[in-house]
Structure 1
Amino acid sequence: MEHPDHPNTAGPAKKGPGGALLRGLARLGLVTQILIGLVAGIALATFAPGAAASVGFLGEVFVAALKAVAPVLVLVLVMASIAGHRQGEQTHIRPILMLYLIGTFSAALVAVVASTLFPSRLVLATEGAAPTPPGGIAEVLKSLALSLVDSPVNALLHGNYIGLLAWAVVLGLGFRQAAPSSRQMIADLSAALTGLVKRVIGLAPLGIFGLVAGTLAEFGPRVLLDYLHLLAVLLGCMAFVALVMNPFIVWWQIRRNPYPLTLTCLRESGITAFFTRSSAANIPVNLQLCERLKLHEETYSVAIPLGATINMAGAAITITVLTLAAVHTLGIQVDLPSSLLLSVVASICACGASGVAGGSLLLIPLACALFGIPNAVAMQVVGVGFIIGILQDSAETALNSSTDILFTAAACEAQGDLPDPVV
């Protein structure tokens, strides 16, 4: 019998207004939670700067968590992607795959040009983390070669993303010849890490609350102008790619007015992807649109899921713009060959972007490593990316997903697989 002086600890917890508020916040989507954290951080820094400075540690914890998970994520994600590749899959969709690669690389080039014309600068803490800027393309290539042959343990410990990428490619190619059970183990490990990343990103509302409150308390409201400028460059690049660069690539394929098809894909696929913020979640929408456009099922059933994985023009723009924002902030001079190399690296990084909201941001340190930017500084840039991610990630996903079906339809028509134009 339960003693009357001791409460029943197994019973339901008392319900109060605080608990109801927390449960209500938990039921909101991540975007809404981040928006609340952003507004709360600005309000706290405005009305109670002292308290805002004290909660800045929440942002530091969030950035530290990202720093901890990002290196392992890059290694396992790329390795699993290569190991899980099915032999002969590429031959069925080679023209579409080529369009995916051209589109992603072109988007990175657009981002380089835009960042050069409208350079963004950020407020970053660089004490004790001085960059080692390269003297030119020769030094960049030398540093790249040395990073490639780094040991995997050292690469993990010091955040050498170039070395991790090299080991991921080598191990992934090796596992392609392994037993199916071994490849499944790698796939399961990748899925487990992706789930861990989702949990870390679930802390983004608190992290952004701390980052915004602490930064505004220390540097003032001018920081918001830097964020707006950066966001404008990002969205401007994505709009240019969606409305100018992609239509040009489609015209090069089908030799007729590309805008009816382009606008159809943006309307039918891009709008839903903007709100789902997941290319993978938008695959059913794209498959349904392919059926309505009367594309061949044998082609689009492979091309659309593959595009959701590797066709990442929006991610290439995000990685390039934010990397160059760090470069300009630190006063590093970038020559033309280094910019072209950045476009290549950003394209490769984009193809390996994690399939979770904000996944492309976690690959920014890999691109920053080209310019000798320390991991501690690069992860601050990732934190800035999460602050503007409410619009950035939605626009990025809309561009990625709509381009999947746009290039698939264009390639089908260019090959003469269809008796009539698709639109």
Structure 2
Amino acid sequence: MTTRPPGLMISAPSSGTGKTTVMLGLLRALAEDGLKVQPFKSGPDYIDPAFHRAAAGRPSFNFDTWAMNPTLIGGVADQSTGADIVIAEGSMGLFDGVATRGETGFGSSAETALKMGWPVVLVIDVGGQAQSAAATALGFKSYNPDVPFAGVILNRCASPRHERLARLGMDHAGVKVLGVLPRRGDLALPERHLGLIQASEHPDLEAAIAGYATFLRDNVDLDAIRDAAASGPAQSGALPKPPAQRIAMAQDAAFSFTYPHLVEGWRAAGAVIMPFSPLADEAPDADADLVWLPGGYPELHAGKLAAATRYQAALRDHALSKPVHGECGGYMALGEALIDKDGTRHQMAGLLGLVTSYEKRKFHLGYRQATLNAPMLGFEAGAKLRGHEFHYSTILQEPDAPLAQVGDADGNPVPETGSVKGNVTGTFFHLIAEAS
């Protein structure tokens, strides 16, 4: 049985430790050394893969053990073909997942690392502690001994003395130190309410990534990291088939959250993706079989979307005879109105009766499992889907027929059922995969 390129999982005890900075710097530094570096993201994240692509020069794809069956995981892993090394970024803490098992597991980064055979590089914030950080590292190393463990990168180290003490603790615990990053206040990426801003919006992304690479090169043992990479045996896989042959997909600053494995699978199966920009008042291609509005930040551009009359008219014409689907932000844009954070009401496409508001934010986060009441994106009524929801809008009205019966990761019903009206469908969850 063949093996895939050797890889590593960059993870941490929790969010906010600096693992994204380490990830981007490592991707770029290895690429500068002449390696073909394949990035991945473990977990349901719409934003990080675009940053990975900017750093590595190769598309990044999501792994998700809760939402994806083994065949799809294999298909995602196949995207590393031709790479010299794989670097994957975890989400939240290494062992964080949900309580109820999904398609392949509970959704943790540790599960992805174990399944793919990638040793874990744990990024630990040593601010406010010294030798005690070793107890954290030792706990993560021993919590599941089956998960391969490469070592730690100590982040936000205050001084040479601080480094000596932290290293002393790691030596005592038998944990390998792969690097020590001095504390710097200029390394944080800009954020907004869904996490990082989009890569396309960063004021100087190339300079930032180049700076991270220099910082990693100066403070991390890149040779040791390369030597630690490993991989398990390859498993056969496949990506999802397209819902239509010609797909008009909204792509601009308002609509940009698409899971790369979906689009790659559609293209690989021969579908034609025809991008258009609602913000530029562009109409979707009249020959499209399907119009798809992905998620994003329509609330930041609601005035421009309301004024985009050419786009809205073409959308309505298409919906008379052919399907239109929106996810999260795209769903909001298909609705009757969107109220921004200042309380201003903006008229949307009006294909659905949904009205959402950001004046009073309400946090919606988590995995979703859905059983369709009506066809959607090539799936028949009765199909079971898995996805993820993440937004801050308040739903003021959702009057149309419910598109699906929707529950959380544990199967508890949630009220955000999505909507269907004629040829138009919308969901608050982002589709990841069909359930097996």
TM-score, normalised with respect to structure 1: 0.23
Which structure has the highest helix share of the two?
1
Structure with greater strand percent: 2
Using CA pairs under 8 Å that are at least 6 residues apart, name the structure with larger relative contact order, 1 or 2.
Answer: 1
TM-score, with length taken from structure 2: 0.22
